Amino acid sequence: MSLLGQLYQAGYGTEVNIKKALHYYKKAAKGGDIAAHYKAGLVYLSDASFKDLNKGVRYLETAAGKDYKNANFLLGIAYLSKDFGLHDLEKADKYLAKSYQDNHRDMPAVIEQIQTSQPITAESFPDLSLALANQPLMKNENGSLVWPTDETEVITITSPPIEEVLTEQLVLYRRPAKALGSRLPNSQCKNQFGCYSTLGFDGLNDFPFLRIN
């Protein structure tokens, strides 16, 4: 359902249809897809035809509650800006601090933007100022704030075009699963659509939506 929402939103194999995209994002979110909560919230905040601040915030807060990094960042920006009608510095401080602790790549630019109008102090942004104190930013050769590079592993990910991503997802979705026997389905992760695998408990850090009991 989440994939179908992406197809309609991108106009992949069909005309762009944000109404249908939102419909399937909401169905996927109801089924527990955290990314779909984020995508539905983004539509409600950014698309003029479906703008609904209350619904957008509700979906984003659900995703943020599951440590979905982009949801924390977007909520911080939405509450920081006066353009969305959600201006609330206390809430902006809360979500921007979480996003900073997540090392969101755009946070240095946001810090610079805030500092052009007001200093980040314990009075104005208590959570964010504490996060900055615990992990200070550094300046590059151009004088711009950046994440520190000392003893920090930097991984750059270049995303392929959305058409290529969706094509690969459709191929995987259509691929028939092989059987291990007459009654036992193949349970290997690589043969299951939307399945992710990792080796060892340390690898589970990549999946913040998982809880281990």
DSSP calls for 109-171: HHHHHHHTTS---TTT-HHHHHHHHHS--EE-TTS-EE---TT-------PPPHHHHHHHHHH
Residue 169 has a pLDDT of: 77
Helices (H) and strands (E) in the chain, counts: 9, 2
CA distance 132 to 111: 9
Domain 2-146: which topology? 1.25.40
Whole-Å CA distances, 31 to 35, 120, 122, 141, 156: 11, 40, 40, 47, 32
Name the residue with tokens 């995303």.
159
Residue 21 has a pLDDT of: 97
Residue 125 has a pLDDT of: 96
Identify the bridge partners of residue 179 per DSSP, sorted by sequence position. 185
Identify the bridge partners of residue 41 per DSSP, sorted by sequence position. none
Residue 190 has a pLDDT of: 58
Q: By the 8 A CB rule, do 104 and 96 touch? A: no
CA distance 203 to 196: 11
Residue 191 has a pLDDT of: 55
Name the residue with tokens 């440590």.
67
Residue 184 has a pLDDT of: 46
What phi and psi values does residue 179 have, to the nearest 5 degrees?
Answer: -100, 150
Segments making up each domain of the chain, as ranges: 2-146, 162-206
pLDDT, mean of each 10-residue run, the chain (213 residues): 93 94 97 95 94 95 94 95 90 96 94 93 96 94 87 67 80 66 53 57 57 52
Residue 94 burial (CB count, 10 A): 20
Q: 3-class DSSP state for residue 185?
A: strand
CA distance 106 to 98: 13
The secondary structure of 17-52 as a DSSP string is: -HHHHHHHHHHHHHTT-HHHHHHHHHHHHH-GGG--
